Chains A and B, each alone.
Chain A
Amino acid sequence: MVSVVAPKKQASKASRRFWRNPASIIGVVLLSILILVAVLAGVISPNPIAQDLGQRLLPPSSQHFLGTDQLGRSVWGRVAHGAALSLQVGFLVTLISVSLGVLVGLLAGTFGGIWDNVLMRLTDIFFAFPSLILAMAIAAALGPSLTNTIIAVAMVSWPSYARLVRAQALALREREFVEAARALGTSPVQIALRHVLPNTLTPVLIQASFDIGQAILTAAGLSFIGFGAQPPTPEWGAMVSETRNFISEAPWASSAPAIAILLAVLAFNLLGDGLRDALDPRNTK
């Protein structure tokens, strides 16, 4: 990632590549809409759990943009509140797993030896869990709630960052500028923070963009089978589960939150594709 080209020029080149890619633009537009809906959720529907049994299973209309569910709640209002919840889950999970993974990877890659061995074997163990099963075990142990879902999904997401950062740190250790810094007497910690960390940011950023979407998908899946957010919380996965028995009478009630999940995951996947193509020119197809 380090080259003799001035960093500014490189950044502007990457930015041009990013904005010329239709995938990135669609991703950014979808994400902006999502954030806007999440921010305005309180305005769209002041109370997403208020029931009105006289208004059950109404089709989409001017009054209820996405119709109502089996308890007469506005689906659009609940989807909007769900956007806020899902974005929080996605960002929090990724923040926790990036912090933990980068820390473990940096420690292992910088100090090597016993540190490397112990930390990477620990990473291997966490890597061996199929994500949903470990998340279910954690959710079952700590009790079903959205907070525990965040902890559970973060626990299965951090190992990939640890591996990524460690690999980068090992590769950088052999580079001239790091060797020069070492020869000048810079401490390992300073090398890690000043030289290794900045150089791992690009791959971490790309990975994180994909993982936010995956975290939203996993968390919604956990809520769907009853281990995440509990009804009447307007969480997308829980909403699909609550309304699935009304699919023939009111397909909008379960499809709207499901399509919301799809669009959110799609937004982050496209963003990740765009970032990868822009920041890592070797991948440009």
Chain B
Amino acid sequence: MLNYTIRRLFFVLFVVWGVSIATFFLSQVVPGDPALVALGDKATDEMIANFRTKNGLDQPIVAQYFSYVGRLLQGDLGTSLRTGRPIADDLRDFFPGTLELSATALLIAALIGIPAGILAALTQNKAPDLIVRLLALLGGATPIYWLAILLLEFLHNKLRLLPGPGRLDAYLIAPPRVTGFVGIDAILARDWEVFADSLTHLILPAFVLGAFSAALLARMTRAAMLETMTQDFIRTARAKGIAASRVVFKHALRNAFLPVLTVLGGVLGGLLSGAVLTETIFSWPGIGRYTTDAAISLDFPAVMGVTLLAGLAYSIINLVTDLLYALFDPRITYG
């Protein structure tokens, strides 16, 4: 297991290295001149030449790549052309926003999707099953930005039940930054009004982001439960006279959980992509909106930084799901 983990960690490094090559060479085909983007149209030729020398843009491509990797190894992702700040600092500021949004979305998806899938499997081809399957089909096909627009219109603009876009209401002052997670920072500052407000601001975007994953989890859980319920050990358990609820929750669910775990990596990867759309609509201060803003203003160093971070996050997520899989399934051993 330890050997396997170490091997997989090397693999993560390899993938991130590959991602760095891909993004770097992609950045070379950007039609916009980064010097012009950073300095504006009114820059003189001398200013442009200085900028190019300072940022190494006058070096050959391969040399630029090696100096880029050298800086990466020191944790230096370069400077954002748009914000003028180190990209690593930008990402550190925006990452907690995405993490709290995606974690809440995953929680909502699991709380809706897994029970719905179990319910559907237990009532196969009856009304509850058909309703769950229909909702799962719709949830998997709905453009989440439209869902966001509709929910904002009805629950915020019309009914005033939930707050609109943004992390906090405009009149509130964000708590002093300790962890970067607004909710946790509010608790630390014992500011309960901000804490409550930050939670209500999370509900809509997290639900929108989690809807697609909930649909996927419901489908997977249903299929896995149906598969497990036909196995011999379930029939044995029933024959022994074990209560139906115990058979379902103790025997079947534990085994059905494994195939569900395999889609978890995909679900988390999907959340990263979905965060781009959700954060853009909800003006959420996270990596997704940061990426959109960076890409729109041709801030390629920042886009490269996000892509690298996303590749790293994705590889680690896959590694963790594989390890969890081994942990939960005693039949699997990794040598």
Question: What residues make up the interface of A, taking CB atoms closer than 8 Å to B?
Answer: 121-122, 124-126, 128-134, 136-143, 213, 217, 220-221, 224-227, 237, 240-241, 244, 247-248, 251, 254-255, 258, 261-263, 265-266, 269-270, 285
Chain B 245-278, CB-CB to A under 8 Å as 1, else 0, gives 0000000000000000000000001101110110
Q: Can you list 30 A-B contacts with CB-CB less than 8 angstroms, sorted by A residue number? A: A125-B19, A128-B15, A128-B19, A129-B310, A130-B273, A130-B310, A132-B274, A133-B273, A133-B276, A136-B291, A137-B303, A137-B304, A140-B30, A142-B29, A142-B31, A213-B141, A217-B141, A217-B143, A221-B145, A224-B145, A225-B277, A226-B296, A237-B145, A255-B150, A262-B141, A262-B146, A263-B141, A265-B140, A269-B140, A285-B223
Tell whether A141 pairs with B27 under 8 Å between CB atoms, given A121-B18, A248-B153.
Answer: yes
Task: Tell which of B270, B295, B314, B315 touches A139, judged by Cβ atoms closer than 8 Å.
Answer: B295
Q: Is B300 engaged at the interface, CB distance under 8 Å to the other chain? A: yes
Tell whether, in the assembled complex, residue B23 and residue A262 are in contact, meaning their CB atoms are under 8 Å apart: no
Task: Tell which of B14, B144, B300 touches A141, judged by Cβ atoms closer than 8 Å.
Answer: B300
Q: Is B306 engaged at the interface, CB distance under 8 Å to the other chain? A: yes
Task: Tell which of B18, B138, B274, B311 touches A262, judged by Cβ atoms closer than 8 Å.
Answer: B138
- Cα–Cα distance between A129 and B291 once the two chains are bound (Å): 14
Per DSSP, are chain A's interface residues mostly helix, strand or loop, or mixed? helix
- Cα–Cα distance between A37 and B140 once the two chains are bound (Å): 23
Tell whether, in the assembled complex, residue A255 and residue B146 are in contact, meaning their CB atoms are under 8 Å apart: yes
The chain B residue with its CB closest to the CB of A23 is B137
Which residues of A sit under 8 angstroms from B137, Cβ to Cβ? 266, 269-270
The chain B residue with its CB closest to the CB of A26 is B137
Task: Tell which of A224, A244, A247 touches B277, judged by Cβ atoms closer than 8 Å.
Answer: A224
The minimal Cβ–Cβ distance linking B65 to chain A, given in whole angstroms, is 16
- Cα–Cα distance between A270 and B136 once the two chains are bound (Å): 12
- Cα–Cα distance between A266 and B139 once the two chains are bound (Å): 10
The total of chain B residues at the interface (CB under 8 A) is: 51
- Cα–Cα distance between A189 and B31 once the two chains are bound (Å): 41
- Cα–Cα distance between A172 and B19 once the two chains are bound (Å): 32
Tell whether A265 pairs with B30 under 8 Å between CB atoms, given A128-B314, A133-B306, A136-B276.
Answer: no
The chain A residue with its CB closest to the CB of B280 is A225
Tell whether, in the assembled complex, residue A240 and residue B273 are in contact, meaning their CB atoms are under 8 Å apart: no
Q: Is B22 engaged at the interface, CB distance under 8 Å to the other chain? A: yes
- Cα–Cα distance between A137 and B29 once the two chains are bound (Å): 11
Tell whether, in the assembled complex, residue A141 and residue B296 are in contact, meaning their CB atoms are under 8 Å apart: no
Tell whether, in the assembled complex, residue A125 and residue B18 are in contact, meaning their CB atoms are under 8 Å apart: yes
The chain B residue with its CB closest to the CB of A129 is B311
Tell whether, in the assembled complex, residue B141 and residue A265 are in contact, meaning their CB atoms are under 8 Å apart: yes
Tell whether A129 pairs with B295 under 8 Å between CB atoms, given A137-B26, A213-B141, A240-B149.
Answer: no
The chain A residue with its CB closest to the CB of B157 is A248
- Cα–Cα distance between A244 and B145 once the two chains are bound (Å): 10
The chain B residue with its CB closest to the CB of A125 is B18
Task: Tell which of B19, B140, B273 touches A132, judged by Cβ atoms closer than 8 Å.
Answer: B273
The minimal Cβ–Cβ distance linking B37 to chain A, given in whole angstroms, is 11
Question: What residues make up the interface of B, taking CB atoms closer than 8 Å to A?
Answer: 11, 14-16, 18-19, 22-23, 26-27, 29-31, 137-138, 140-146, 149-150, 153, 157-158, 223, 226, 269-270, 272-274, 276-277, 280, 291-292, 295-296, 298, 300, 303-304, 306-307, 310-311, 314-315
Which residues of A sit under 8 angstroms from B145, Cβ to Cβ? 221, 224, 237, 240-241
Chain A to chain B: the 8 pairs with minimum beta-carbon distance, closest first:
A125-B18, A258-B146, A132-B273, A265-B141, A140-B295, A130-B272, A266-B141, A128-B311
The minimal Cβ–Cβ distance linking A232 to chain B, given in whole angstroms, is 19
- Cα–Cα distance between A189 and B306 once the two chains are bound (Å): 41
Tell whether A285 pairs with B23 under 8 Å between CB atoms, given A137-B303, A141-B30.
Answer: no
The chain B residue with its CB closest to the CB of A139 is B295
Tell whether, in the assembled complex, residue A129 and residue B19 are in contact, meaning their CB atoms are under 8 Å apart: yes
Which residues of B sit under 8 angstroms from A224, Cβ to Cβ? 143, 145, 277
Tell whether, in the assembled complex, residue B150 and residue A227 are in contact, meaning their CB atoms are under 8 Å apart: no
Tell whether, in the assembled complex, residue A133 and residue B310 are in contact, meaning their CB atoms are under 8 Å apart: yes
Which residues of A sit under 8 angstroms from B142, Cβ to Cβ? 258, 262
Which residues of A sit under 8 angstroms from B223, Cβ to Cβ? 285
- Cα–Cα distance between A225 and B277 once the two chains are bound (Å): 7
Tell whether, in the assembled complex, residue B314 and residue A130 are in contact, meaning their CB atoms are under 8 Å apart: yes
Which residues of A sit under 8 angstroms from B304, Cβ to Cβ? 137
Q: Given A125-B311, A217-B143, output 12 extra A-B contacts at Cβ < 8 Å.
A: A124-B14, A125-B15, A128-B18, A129-B314, A133-B307, A137-B307, A141-B300, A221-B144, A241-B145, A258-B142, A262-B143, A262-B146
Which residues of B sit under 8 angstroms from A244, Cβ to Cβ? 149
The chain A residue with its CB closest to the CB of B133 is A23
Tell whether, in the assembled complex, residue B141 and residue A136 are in contact, meaning their CB atoms are under 8 Å apart: no
Tell whether, in the assembled complex, residue A221 and residue B311 are in contact, meaning their CB atoms are under 8 Å apart: no
